[in-house]
Structure 1
Amino acid sequence: MKLFGLSRIKKIGLAFIILNFNLVFLLMGQSAINHPLGEITDDGSETISYKGSRNYKFTERSDLRVYQNGKYVGLQSKIVSAFIIPSWTDKGLVYEGDFFVDQDTNRNKTQVALGIHDAIPSSFIINDDGNLTMLVDNGYPSFRSFPAYSSHKLKKGDVWEAKATRAVDPLSKGIVTKMPIYVQYTYTGDDLYNGEPVYLISAQWATRYNMGGTTIYVDWGGDKELSYAQGSHKATIIVSKATGAALVIRDNVDETFAYADGNKYQFKGTISLFTEYPPAIDRSKLIAALKRMELLDDDGAEKLLQRPVVKEVVKSSTISDKDDDWEPVNTSEWVSGGNPDKKDSKTKTEKLKKQIEEHQATEAAHKATPISVDNTEAGIRLTIQNLQFKADSAELLPGEEKRLDQIAEILKLADGAQFLIEGHTASTGYEAGELKLSKERADSIAAALAKRGIGSERFICKGSGGKKPIAPNDTAEGKALNRRVEITILD
């Protein structure tokens, strides 16, 4: 099986990530995605492989002692988490996820505080030969093609090697450095984990970045101040026999990064990683609540009983963006200004008329579709059309309490689930501003729902600006439909 690796000395233009030193073993066997499930052959050997098709939650917990030039400077505690959703598109099987980092460095083991998260998007595909190609690359996953399973039949004690790629940013500088690693795996035995039959695999590798020798690897697109890195990793991996997913990875780390200013930073400790599948949601309870609120008819209830198999591919609009909010025009300067220029007056009159039409369309959409319900691969999605915010603001106006109360009542029925809140704007010419505003509005909705008794740690918030329209942006009605907040009960 061919594995993905970083080409020597030629990778430039690497993506920005908000990442300190970590080991994000996200793909947990996905490099072997095209093989059948693990199976036992007649001679007692086994084929260990991965088949990924379900949503899953990824969590990495690290506790690393940090030393600067040999002096202890604190304990680095970090949680990296993501909810990964695979879906079939015209590009094949695409994995999409939003990553979140909570980090603290202190001199004791104070718990890292969790709250409403900022989403860092990632999207990637895995080809038939095992190569990984990033579609949206913000530095995640930081480990690619790890762990990899041998395509050969294995017996206990058998050893195989595979190449992977690792991304690091030890000092949280916002500059990711990528390096190839060569991992040696050993199939050590079988066991039970939470009552499930599992394989036990050990893995080890050495960190050698720009260390000389016959082969020198340098990432010229990475941190130019990173002189070299060296160290060791020894990991234990627990792999599900049924699915090939790596359920737990525990890595023992001892690693040093040296910088051009002469400082050396050593990281020692453990990193534990878990793969968890979301709990089964009692859809009958949700359907009953949705019908009670008259948000769902019998046909809609039937569609919610099962998740769709294929996700519809949503293509980004090619129409340019600008400010999405309706704002009144100050007409006093051209109504009471004596003798205004007629052309200027006509232009302002047309602008005012257009804004009034958009405002009326917004009001109509608000009344016609208070909350709509869809069945998606990620879970049940509630779409709130035209929530009333102050212009250019994430502050909710009075009058939205009823809809928020309804949504909170629904979400409380999804025991243990996480909720993705995604803000959207019309696309009218100012992409950066739209993304910022849509994210702030998603945060605002999460905060409002948290006040209604839902734990803030259950919310994942992201803003998509005007990049995911559901209607054309060249009409007032279309823009009104595109201004929305979507809440998905991740399933």
Structure 2
Amino acid sequence: MKKILALCLLCILLLANQALHGESFRVSYLPGDKFRITEKADLRRYEDGRFIGLAYREVRGVLDVLAGNEEGGASKVTGDFYVFEETKHKSINVARRIDQVVKVNFLIKENGQYVVAENRGYPSLRSFPVFPAGEIEQGEKWQDFGERVVEPFRDGRFTRVRFYCDYQYYGTDIIGGSEYIVLKAQYAMRYKPGQDPYGDERIRGISGKHLVTIYFDPNLQRPHFMRDQMDEIYQLADGGTIAYKGFILTWFDNIVTMDRSHLVEEVREQLKESGVEDISVEEKKEGVALTLNRIHFVADQAVVLPQEKERLKRVAQALKKIESRSFLVVGHTARAGSVESQLTLSVERAKAIVDYLVSQGIEAKRFLYEGRGASESVAANDSEENMARNRRVEIIILED
């Protein structure tokens, strides 16, 4: 009986000690880490108070933590943000068109603060969450500054808005069998012209609020998931208004590093055994690229000629063996016609290749696609032979 009482007393003391000391938070990204930030916005758009329609948008950042930290433990982060085409319908199992690829470099400090030297719009939410020094007990509240970058016209004109956020350590929750620390945060959006000297001059003022639930991974020491219920109104210089209401969901995921040299050899061997010709396989910054050289379409159209389908079928068989990776399909054209027509045709041809590969049994949601027109020619456009070399499609196995 005495032993049972002693054990009970010990448990009470341990729980009391844990409650007394609370949690000490820090944000940790180690050199060599590779991670992904995926932001999905599900919003309703209003203009001058009238409902205009739905707006779904996804942005995906594929980021590397560089070797060597700055003074004070800040992690150096570099990578690309893929900005997908905004749609009016929420789609799940579809290929996504890339509107823009944005290269970024920034620092993340141990307390969660971001340092972004060159503002290119991404990441759009910075210094969030931020933690105070010392331990935080459950239920405790604190405040700190953060920054949100907005782009109400969806045309690449960004405005930085600094905000003051209220945080609370709410407790813990289980998601997918793992325990996460739950934080509640809320902040108001307030902006006047001139607060961002490089901001969009069409914006005269911003007001609104954000209510955010943050799931923080205590093992990795970084955010895992955030759910943001938002309501923003933009007062415009012409007297009108734009408003967005809805949710923004953000995931932070680790990326398993790809053995690129092994994958190159493996894919080359598979294509060789299948008798596929005129495809080069090589490492690129984004991953491993399969380049379909001299691919044949109907002239000035995005219609694949019948003789190409056997080659594409065998490429699809090789891609099916690659698990848990996305495929970026990039269309290229020769320099013929206007720059605009080249870009349009290259996008359409990339999409045509995606559609055929999907018809061979690869999930559409694994594909991203874009066109680069004739901006990345591999030969001078001075002969039919060289122009044929420039008409190509890349399928990049992304390290994402």
User: Partner amino acid for 2:102?
Assistant: S
Give me the whole-angstrom Cα distance separating, in 2, the residues matched to 1:235 and 1:254. Answer: 12
Q: What residue identity is the alignment partner of 2:79?
A: Y
Partner SS state of residue 103, structure 1: coil
Q: 1:124 Cα shift?
A: 0.7
Residues 51 and 431 of structure 1, relative CA distance in 2, 3 Å threshold: farther
1:381 aligns with 2:362: no
Alpha-carbon distance change, 66 to 111 in structure 1, aligned in 2, over 3 angstroms: same
Q: Is the 8 A contact 2:25 2:221 kept in 1?
A: no
- The aligned residue for residue 329 of structure 2 is 421
Q: Give the deviation of 1:147 after TM superposition.
A: 1.7
- In structure 2, the partner of 1:116 is 95
The offset of 1:406, in angstroms, is: 0.8
Tell me the distance in 1 between the aligned counterparts of 2:123 and 2:335: 29
1:449 aligned onto 2:357: yes
8 Å CA contact retained: 2:210, 2:230: yes
The CA deviation at 1:161 is: 0.8
Structure-1 residue corresponding to 2:205: 228
Match in the other structure for 1:274: 251
Q: Which residue pairs with 2:72 in the alignment?
A: none
CA shift for structure 1 position 405:
0.3
In the alignment, which residue of structure 2 is the partner of 1:358? none
Please provide the CA RMSD for this pair. 4.3
- 1:147-166 correspondence to structure 2 within 5 Å: 147-150=128-131, 152-156=133-137, 157=140, 159-166=142-149
- Write out aligned runs for 1:409-488 (5 A): 409-415=317-323, 417-425=325-333, 434-468=342-376, 473=380, 483-488=391-396
Q: Could you tell me whether the CA contact under 8 Å between 1:290 and 1:410 is conserved in 2? A: no
Distance across 2 between alignment mates of 1:423 and 1:417: 20
What code does the residue aligned with 2:27 have? S
Taking only the aligned residue pairs, the percentage that are identical comes to: 24
Deviation readout 1:297-337 (Å, 9 max, x if unpaired): xxxxxxxxxxxxxxxxxxxxxxxxxxxxxxxxxxxxxxxxx
Which residue in 1 is equivalent to 2:184?
202
**Helix, strand or coil at the partner of 2:34:** coil
Q: Secondary structure in 2 aligned to 1:399?
A: helix
Distance in 1, matches of 2:258 and 2:144, equals 40
CA distance in 2, matches of 1:484, 1:240: 43
From 34, 58, 69, the counterpart of 1:80: 58
- Structure 2 Cα separation of the partners of residues 100 and 401 of structure 1: 28
SS of residue in 2 equivalent to 1:439: helix
Does the Cα contact within 8 Å between 2:229 and 2:246 map onto a contact in 1? yes
Query: CA–CA distance in 1 between the matches of 2:92 and 2:86?
Result: 7
Amino acid paired to 2:367: F
The separation in 2 between residues aligned to 1:467 and 1:268, in whole angstroms, is 38
- Residues of 2 paired with 1:449 and 1:400: CA distance? 12
Mapped contact 1:295–1:371 kept (Cα < 8 A)? no
| 1:44 CA displacement | 5.6
Secondary structure of the structure 2 residue equivalent to 1:222: coil
Find the partner of 1:103 among 87, 94, 97: 87
What amino acid is aligned across from residue 194 of structure 1 in structure 2? G
Q: CA deviation at 1:51?
A: 1.1
Q: 1:258 aligns with which of 235, 249, 266?
A: 235
Return closer, same or farther for 1:473/1:134 CA change in 2, 3 Å cut-off: farther
| Secondary structure in structure 2 of the residue aligned to 1:183 | strand
CA contact (8 A) 2:328 2:367 kept: yes
The answer to whether the 8 Å contact 1:281/1:414 transfers is no
For 2:248 and 2:162, the matched residues in 1 are separated by: 20
Task: Mark the CA change 1:50 to 1:183 in structure 2 (over 3 Å): closer, same or farther.
Answer: farther
Q: Would the aligned equivalents of 2:104 and 2:122 in 1 still touch at CA under 8 Å?
A: no
- Measured after TM superposition, the shift of residue 425 of structure 1 is 4.8
Contact 2:333 2:391 in 1 (8 A): yes
Change (3 A) 1:87 1:265: closer
Report the secondary structure of 1:400's partner residue.
Answer: helix
1:49 equivalent in structure 2: 27
The amino acid of 1:153's aligned partner reads G
Alpha carbons 1:65, 1:269 under 8 Å: kept: no
Which residue type is aligned with residue 103 of structure 1? T
1:381-406, Cα deviation, whole Å (9 max, x unpaired): 32222212345543333321121001
Give the number of aligned pairs: 362
Per the alignment, in what secondary structure is the counterpart of residue 96 of structure 1?
strand
User: Gapped runs of 5+ residues in structure 2?
Assistant: 1-17, 68-75
TM-score, normalised to structure 1, is 0.60
Secondary structure of 1:462's aligned partner: strand
CA distance in 2, matches of 1:114, 1:88: 33
Gaps of 5+ in 1: 1-39, 105-109, 297-366
The 5 Å alignment of 1:129-208 reads: 130-134=114-118, 137=120, 139-143=121-125, 145-150=126-131, 152-156=133-137, 157=140, 159-169=142-152, 175-208=157-190
CA-to-aligned-CA distance 1:401-442 (integer Å, 9 cap, x gap): 121001111222334542111234568997655544433332
1:452 CA displacement: 2.5
With normalisation by structure 2, the TM-score equals 0.72
Larger strand share, 1 or 2: 2
CA spacing shift, 1:196–1:427, aligned 2, 3 Å: farther
Amino acid paired to 2:311:
R
How does 1:190-339 map onto structure 2 within 5 Å?
190-210=172-192, 217=195, 221-224=199-202, 226-260=203-237, 262-277=239-254, 291-294=269-272
Q: Report the counterpart of residue 73 of structure 2 in structure 1.
A: none
Are residues 83 and 447 of structure 1, via their aligned partners in 2, closer, same or farther at CA, if it must alter by over 3 Å? farther
AA partner of residue 144 (structure 2): E
The 1:384–1:179 alpha-carbon spacing in structure 2 relative to 1, beyond 3 Å, is same
Please say if residues 77 and 112 of structure 1, whose CA atoms lie closer than 8 Å, have aligned partners that are also in contact. Answer: no
Q: Per-residue displacement from partner, 1:95-126 (whole Å, max 9, x unpaired)?
A: 1132114432xxxxx74576433212111101
**What are the superposed Cα offsets for residues 453-484 of structure 1, whole Å, 9 maximum, x if unpaired?**
33333321122345556x67599898766653
Structure 1 contact 177–223 (Cα < 8 Å) conserved: no
Task: Report if the CA contact (8 A) 1:281-1:415 is conserved.
Answer: no
- Structure 1 residues 290, 87: closer, same or farther in 2, change over 3 A? farther
Q: Partners of 1:126 and 1:376 in 2: how far apart?
A: 22
